[in-house]
Chain A
Amino acid sequence: MLKVENVSKVFRSGAFGGKKAKVIHDIDFEVKPGEVVSLIGESGSGKTTVGRMILRLTSVSEGRITFDGEDVSALKGRALKSYYRRVQGVFQDPFSSFNPIFKVGRVFRTIRREFLADLDTATWETRLTGALNAVGLEFAALDKFPHQMSGGQLQRLLIARALVLDIRLLVADEIISMLDASTRIDVLNLLGDLKRQGLSIIFVTHDLALGNYISDRIIILQKGSIVEMGATDRVFGDPQHAYTRSLLNAVPHLHERWSDAELKDLGLVKDTARFGGRLVEHQPDHFVRVYS
């Protein structure tokens, strides 16, 4: 369905844009219908940039991204609108996605005007109710202001906003990082239910435990390169790349306390990121970058 084919991204940097910085190196992966794929990496790994390129918020420098075989970068006008009818994004800070001086229902009116103007009111309302029910919210919620709702509720409204369009792919960029533990799990479970109904999700996160809970496949990004990817149980159960292992070792567990030495190990080894190398298939559906 969605294919990211050998995509690279070069940003101009420096005061006058004279310098160039390559932030994404030759990324290649696929998302199948009804699949949750997690993009996991630290800040600066390029995970958000990949999500933004898929949503066409950032252009692609090399390679191409296709959705059902169509090159996403080439879409214009009607075709682009139809793309956004199928692919939508939800982002980290729900409060900044709403205009604080309007009631939250406004985002739904905008969606209707832009994308679903041809629907009659009755059909629209059924659809809206359906989307709100799917995220566990009442119709009355639309009549509130953003500050009257919790972060988790706003985040669910934004997911409902995407669902109203009957999308096929949702790019969820750190959507639960700002939420409390108890609300987090509600949003995660919601994503799980939507996946069961056939929605594909790209779940961008730096939290390995969250990525593990929800996803079918994992992509580990380091400094803009994929260092390891594959089925979740393979990548997390049998990590091959040193970077994946160090990430997993740094995840705190509730029931297992780090030893004093482990805890105080500041990992003074310098940055181990290496460029180059190639992804090889370690076992079926488990790829690791090797450097020769």
Chain B
Amino acid sequence: MLAVSDLKIHYRTLAGSVKALDGVSFSVADGEIMGLAGESGCGKSTLGKALIRLEERMQYVGGEVTLDGTTLPIADDRAMNPYRFRKVSIVPQYAMSALNPTRRIGRMIDELLASRGLKGSTLRPELERRLAVLGLGPEVLGMYPIELSGGMKQRVVMVLSTLLDPSLLIADEVTSALDVASQKKVAGALVEFRDRGYVKSMIVVTHDLAILAQVADSILIMYAGKLAEKAPTRTIVEAPAHPYTRLLLGSLPEVGIRFEDKRLPGIKGRPPSLLSPPVGCRFRDRCPLAFGKCVEEPPFIEIAPGHQVACWKADAHAQG
């Protein structure tokens, strides 16, 4: 189980520090696939990355992350090393470019395992078995990345990232660059791996709520570096309580909805700058329900079992 409490990560820039992650607390249970969604710049990718490796410009400001009862030393790059790949693993956003183009895939994987002190040949049977689970034959190990389609590469990287049965897998926008058909296969692969116990829990970072509606058990919505709402997938999709979640869902064209019949509204305005974020609720400038109290920051509280929201009007909202 993963527990994150009051995590703060800032980006160092010339103009000052960008508060990309400004105190977020949540947990992911064993066996849970948690979707993490929001617009670009809301901090979702920062959160995903922070759990495995801080980039150079990312600065740990505070908070704690525990995985299966152990505190992860996320601020200490070297101390994190024993956890990476073994306990926490990631499928990066552009998995297709994560593969070395000059190596056959099998050899690249062997080299990678060797760098972690593992022997490729002992893991080979398991590797082939898992590739087969995702519909890839052992022949892909003899191929160069260029010979595989984007979706196939994505699945190869997935198998590789989870080969040591990590406790937590972070899937960062893994379906975004794919066509619908490959997208569905990768989505299915995520669930398959969880069900087979290759990965205990998963955080699926994406801006695509429709994909999350298919694979996630719960969805966490972020806005401007803060948590807006977390709830079981069905609740988020059918009965969201945060006005932002509602507007976000309302701006999705689904097959069957047409401009001629029903013009979907967007969300007016833009998210605030995170260099000096406004006080109070960060969504209030764009929120149709904003009122006086929104200048105070709403707490992220539970309004129903498993349903947390940061909005002063959430309660009234959920009931009516």
Contact = CB atoms under 8 A, between A and B. Distances in A.
A180 B258 CA distance: 19
Interface stretch (B19-27, B156-164, B181-189, B292-300): B181-189
B320 interface: no
B179 A264 contact: no
Contacts of B248: 181-182
B11 to A, nearest CB: 15
Interface in A168-216: 180-186, 188-189, 192, 206-210, 212-214
B264 interface: yes
A236 interface: yes
Interface in B166-219: 179-185, 187-189, 191-192, 207-211, 213-215
B266 interface: yes
A131 B210 CA distance: 34
Size class of the B contact interface (CB-based, 8 Å): 35 or more
A257 B256 contact: no
Contacts, number: 127
Contacts of A254: 209-210, 213, 237, 249, 252, 254
Interface centre among B181, B182, B184, B237 (most CB of A within 10 A): B184
A122 to B, nearest CB: 32
Interface stretch (A1-9, A71-79, A245-253): A245-253
Interface stretch (A17-25, A95-103, A265-273): A265-273
Q: What bracket does the count of chain A residues touching chain B fall in?
A: 35 or more
Contacts of B257: 209, 212-213
A267 B185 contact: yes
A126 interface: no
B36 to A, nearest CB: 15
Interface string B29-62: 0000000000110000000000000000000000
B179 A42 contact: yes
Given A181-B209, A254-B254, A263 B215 contact: yes
A189 B188 contact: no
B247 interface: yes
Interface of A: 42-43, 150-151, 180-186, 188-189, 192, 206-210, 212-214, 232, 236, 246-248, 250-255, 257-258, 260, 263-268
Given A181-B252, A189-B259, A253-B254, 14 more contacts: A180-B207, A181-B251, A182-B247, A186-B266, A212-B253, A214-B258, A251-B180, A254-B210, A258-B184, A263-B184, A263-B188, A264-B191, A267-B181, A267-B185
